[in-house]
Amino acid sequence: MSQAKLRDQLVREFKSYWSSSLPTTIDMGGERQRKTIKDSALLIDKLGLQVKLNIIDWFIAFILRDYRRIFSPSDEAGQLDNLSTRFAWFNRILKQFQHQQDLSNIWPIHWNIKSQLLAKFNDYTSQDIQIVLKNSNLNVDSLIEAIRITKDFESQMQKKLNLHFNDQGGFKSISLVYQNVFHVYISHQDKSLADLFTKFSDSSSHQFVEESSTASVLESSSELFLNYRQILSQCATLTNGKPIVDLSKLYSKWLKIYANDILKAQLIHGINSRRSLDSKVNYNEIKISGLIINTADYCLSTAIQLEEKLKEYVYIPFKGDISFEKEGEIFNSIISNCLQRCLHNFELGIETPLNDMSRIQWSQLGNSKKKSNNITSVSNPSQYVIDLSQCILNLSSNVTKSIDQRKYYRSFLDKAVSLSVALLTRNIVKSRPLSSLGVEQLLLDLQSFRQAFLDSMESPRETGSTTSAYARHVNRALIPLETLLKVVLAPSVPAEAFVQSYTTLIADSSSQNFQKVLEMKGLPKKDQSQIHEIFRAVTATESQSEKQSNSFLTELDMDPPNRPLIPVPTINNKSEGDNCSPADYNNNPNKADSKNISPAVPMFSDFKNFFLRK
């Protein structure tokens, strides 16, 4: 018999047997019949791959012949609420097949009939469900229940058949069909979050009053992320595909709304709150700013954790589509705005002692011809700096009580130091010329000023490295002003020694900068000409490597304006863009020096920035 005839005969016998009623009998037609069919399967396996595949395809189609008729998408049995009946039907078919295989062992193991039977069932079921979903008015509860039933079935099949469903190219999952309608779930969560934000808005006018004295963050922020966590926990049981990315975009949307509509609204509440008539400082604004800083920082750090959790759940190809970087920029800008408000109040708070300082006639100190009670020596700090130190400690204490994260308080102090130095320098420049005794008094006053800021950082929560770094910042901020005063204090006679003091301490060759020092000393014009000649001669003979064309004096404005150095910050409901985090000053000084903490706030790490002419 030829191979072709043998093949046709075996196929006919095989189909005839399975089309008869014999397989449904208890003994499947008897031992002899079972052996004949088993031998036929072995022979078919030898006739080539295509013959085997044709037999398998025919058998699977035969077994599932009634499935699509019974569960037609146009009939009631084929609807989503009968999904469990579909899977129960297949379980019976699979159980019957397993019974036959256990009894007869007809099918060779390597044919993987059960897996291929499941694969075809999944294809049919996916096609049917897709039609049902397209033609039905789906609600979120029906969708969740359908996915749950489908996932349970797939879990059963994984255990029974020792296989793994993988939406990314493994054994094809029926659950994939729900991806196209998952927008129903996302829309439902969007509405739920909208309702939550309505609650936030309704309670926002009362929330601060209740929370400001006890809570360090707004309760609404923790409630928001609790809802986020609950939604994600449920969503992760339903899918690990693109809907997770869609959910992250929904989170992004409401994080922006929370920042703009809730946090900024609270900030406006602080701005408009009543302040004490006895003080220019709005302490309530400082308190609310601290609350907003804490809440924004909580949102910032929790959003980072949320991003990591989303990426943990989603399939690898989608991980790069999940990011809360832009939302982080918004929260950073809010923190910057709040810090600027604290600094604005700080400037208002030290205004009175600085005004007292400006009324002192620094040029007349030590001049016994003017007043009989004029001081003749320096022994104690001036009263203005005593008052200034007390204001610094009081204002810093109010800020540190309001801010949880020390990095933000450190950022505030860093800028408060430089702001205060700038204001002191402005007063000193306006008070020129300075007498020698006046300069000595100012140098002594600066020691009290330095100590006040050092005391502002002292806290059990601070480490030695933190306080040391802060102390270095305070010293660096004061060096230019102290250097200027020391040069002014140097005797102008002999002129050569004075010029040498300047070139040693200031170390630049600029005649314009040298002239500023002469103005601070108040030297007569005739004496200035002689000293300038000596200065030009000295700087001309120095080697090129020793000379500098400018120094911190280059940017010193000898006619500084009286406007506040910290403008009143505005509240913008749009993201301010790529802002540097206020904490970056401590974490990355180079980055902090090159970028503004807030669009309206100049960096205070550089002395010269306060004296640029506008």
The reported pLDDT for the residue numbered 370 is 55
User: pLDDT tier at 464 (50, 70, 90 boundaries)?
Assistant: low
State the Cα–Cα distance between residues 603 and 605, nearest whole angstrom. Answer: 6
Q: Which residue has the higher pLDDT, 592 or 524?
A: 524
Whether 591 shows a pLDDT value over 60: the answer reads no
The answer to whether 349 touches 282, Cβ cutoff 8 Å, is no
* Count of beta carbons in the 10 Å neighbourhood of residue 58: 15
Widest pairwise Cα distance in the chain: 140
DSSP-assigned beta bridge partners for residue 486: none
Residues in contact with 206: Cβ distance below 8 Å, sequence separation at least 6, in sequence order: none
Residue 598 three-state SS: strand
Whether 595 shows a pLDDT value over 50: the answer reads no
Task: Give the Cα-Cα-Cα angle 346, 349, 350 (nearest 5 degrees).
Answer: 95
How many angstroms separate the Cα of 470 from the Cα of each of 205, 574, 608? Answer: 38, 34, 20
The answer to whether 414 touches 605, Cβ cutoff 8 Å, is yes
Percent residues over pLDDT 90 in the chain:
57
Residue 429 three-state SS: helix
State the Cα–Cα distance between residues 356 and 352, nearest whole angstrom. Answer: 6
Task: Give the Cα-Cα-Cα angle 335, 337, 343 (nearest 5 degrees).
Answer: 105
Task: Give the ranges where 239-323 is alpha helix by DSSP (H).
Answer: 242-257, 264-272, 283-313
Whether 611 shows a pLDDT value over 50: the answer reads no
State the Cα–Cα distance between residues 200 and 265, nearest whole angstrom. Answer: 11
Whether 362 shows a pLDDT value over 80: the answer reads yes
**250-296, pLDDT tens digit by residue?**
999 999 999 999 998 888 876 766 666 677 898 888 999 999 999 99
**170-182, pLDDT tens digit by residue?**
578 899 999 999 9
Percent residues over pLDDT 70 in the chain:
84
Q: What's 409-456 look like in SS3?
A: HHHHHHHHHHHHHHHHHHHHHHCCCCCHHHHHHHHHHHHHHHHHHHHH
**130-167, pLDDT tens digit by residue?**
999 998 889 999 999 999 999 999 999 999 888 877 65
DSSP-assigned beta bridge partners for residue 171: 165
Q: What DSSP letter does each residue of 21-86 carry, written as one string?
A: SGGGSTTTT-HHHHHHHHHHHHHHHHT-HHHHHHHHHHHHHHHTTTHHHHT-TTSGGGSGGGHHHH
The reported pLDDT for the residue numbered 267 is 82
The reported pLDDT for the residue numbered 105 is 81
The answer to whether 562 touches 423, Cβ cutoff 8 Å, is no
Whether 518 shows a pLDDT value over 80: the answer reads yes
Q: What's 211-232 look like in SS3?
A: HCCCCCCCHHHHHHHHHHHHHH
Average pLDDT, the chain: 84
Whether 345 shows a pLDDT value over 60: the answer reads yes
Whether 430 shows a pLDDT value over 60: the answer reads yes
Can you read off the two tokens belonging to residue 7?
């093949």
Whether 103 shows a pLDDT value over 50: the answer reads yes
Can you read off the two tokens belonging to residue 91?
């379980």
Identify the residue whose tokens are 């020694």: 497
**541-578, pLDDT tens digit by residue?**
765 445 566 788 988 999 988 888 887 777 665 544 44
Q: Which residue has the higher pLDDT, 607 or 426?
A: 426
The reported pLDDT for the residue numbered 31 is 77
**183-240, pLDDT tens digit by residue?**
999 999 999 999 999 998 876 554 554 444 567 899 999 999 999 999 999 999 999 9
The reported pLDDT for the residue numbered 24 is 73
User: pLDDT tier at 614 (50, 70, 90 boundaries)?
Assistant: very low
User: pLDDT tier at 605 (50, 70, 90 boundaries)?
Assistant: very low
Q: Which of 213-217, 481-485, 529-533 has the lowest mean pLDDT?
A: 213-217
pTM for this entry: 0.82
Q: Which residue has the higher pLDDT, 11 or 536?
A: 536
Can you read off the two tokens belonging to residue 18?
């399975």
* CA distance from start to end of the chain: 106
